[in-house]
Amino acid sequence: MADIDDLMEQIDADLDLLFSPIARDIEAELTSAKPNISRIERRVTGKLGTLFGFTAEEAAASPLGIYFRGAITAARALSGEGGGSLETVEFGQSRAERLWETGKHLREMITANLRAFAQAKPGGKITKDSVRDFFRTFLTVDGAANKIGLTGDHGLYEVRRHMAFVVREEYGVGLQVAAVRRGANIKWNLHPRHPAVDICDEHAKRDNYGLGPGVYPPGKVPQFPPHPHCLCVFTLV
């Protein structure tokens, strides 16, 4: 049976596929005889709008919204209690609005950076390679959190980080539902790749209920995930 790590690896691969048409458009323009930055801006912002929705109302039904809903349903289903249909987990107005706001912000980021590139003087530091390097970093959904571009944002990395947080949140909800139905408790486990001591170590060691280190009754589990990039997993005991 797939686990949360498998699901996140699949999400990373799927996000790369969802955004690959944008990368192809950019590369096609930059390899043409006369690259046109304004045309790149129109094509990229248009495709980002289609992926995220051009309004908050469109976001839940956008390609990324539909994918996101399926991903959180799959996370809930890892417990064996969540079912498998897209209708199982409600996407929610707040998530739709957050998705749309993210897409809007990314389009504004593209516009700000490309217009700055377009205004650069001939012979200056802004070159075709500068534009290409900017977009390669912008389109890296699992890269480092270094701020990129002239606006100092994170690009599609932010999309992946938010999706990972919500997917793990639904995973935690599903395990708590399963624990209630099975009359079990929940053990908080540090991941083998847990990178550094943080609040997760405390949650995995605490014994507030006399059930053993890191074991909690359903409904008493600390907020999960406690921070972005959390890798912890739950088991039923």
Query: At residue 93, does pLDDT exceed 50?
Result: yes
Query: At residue 1, does pLDDT exceed 50?
Result: no
pLDDT computed for residue 213 by the predictor: 96
pLDDT computed for residue 87 by the predictor: 42
pLDDT computed for residue 123 by the predictor: 56
Tell me the mean pLDDT in the region 56-60: 88
Tell me the mean pLDDT in the region 122-143: 70
pLDDT tens track for 136-167: 777 776 665 566 666 667 777 888 888 889 89
- DSSP secondary structure letters along the chain: ---HHHHHHHHHHHHHHHHHHHHHHHHHHHTSSS--HHHHHHHHHHHHHHHH-SSHHHHTTSHHHHHHHHHHHHHHHTTTSS-SSTTSS---HHHHHHHHHHHHHHHHHHHHHHHHHHTSPTTSS--HHHHHHHHHHHT-TTS----BTTTTB-TTHHHHHHHHHHHHHHHHHHHHHHHHHHT--EEEE--TT--S-SHHHHHHH--SSSS-TTEE-TT-SPPSSSSTT---EEEE-
Tell me the mean pLDDT in the region 40-55: 91
